[in-house]
Structure 1
Amino acid sequence: MLKAENIIAVGLMGLSIYFMIHATVLPIGWVEFEGPGGGAFPFWLSAVMLLAAAGILFKSIREGIPEDAEPFFDPDTRRAVASVAIALLVTIGLIPLVGAYVAIPLFLVWYLRFFGGHGWTLTAILTVATPVFVFFFFEVTLRILLPKGFTEPLFFPLYAIFF
Structure 2
Amino acid sequence: MRVAELTVAALLMALSGYFMFHATALPIGWQEGAGPGGGAFPFWLSLIMLLAAGGIFLRHFAEALADRGSRRPFITRAALRDVLIVVLSLLAAIALIHVVGAYVAIPLFLLFYLRVMGNCGWRLTATLTLVTPVVVFLFFEVALKILLPKGITEPLFIPLYALLF
Deviation at 1:69, TM superposition (A): 5.3
Q: 1:148 is matched with which residue?
A: 150
Q: 1:150 to 1:27 in 2, by over 3 A?
A: farther
CA distance in 1, matches of 2:5, 2:146: 36
Deviation at 1:22, TM superposition (A): 4.8
Contact map agreement 1:109 1:123 (CA 8 A) in 2: yes
- Correspondence 1:1-163 to 2 at 5 A: 2-24=2-24, 26-64=26-64, 66-67=67-68, 68=70, 70-163=72-165
Deviation at 1:107, TM superposition (A): 0.4
What's the secondary structure of 1:79's corresponding residue?
helix
CA distance in 2, matches of 1:155, 1:39: 29
Q: 1:63 to 1:73 in 2, by over 3 A?
A: closer
Contact map agreement 1:9 1:53 (CA 8 A) in 2: yes
RMSD of aligned Cα (Å): 2.1
CA distance in 2, matches of 1:63, 1:80: 24
CA distance in 2, matches of 1:84, 1:120: 20
Between the aligned residues of both structures, percent identity stands at 60
Aligned residues: 163
Listed as ranges, the gaps of 5+ residues in structure 2 are none
TM-score normalised according to structure 2 size: 0.86
CA distance in 1, matches of 2:97, 2:146: 15
Listed as ranges, the gaps of 5+ residues in structure 1 are none
Query: Which contiguous aligned blocks of 4+ residues in structure 1 show a shift greater than 6 angstroms?
Result: none
Q: 1:86 to 1:50 in 2, by over 3 A?
A: same
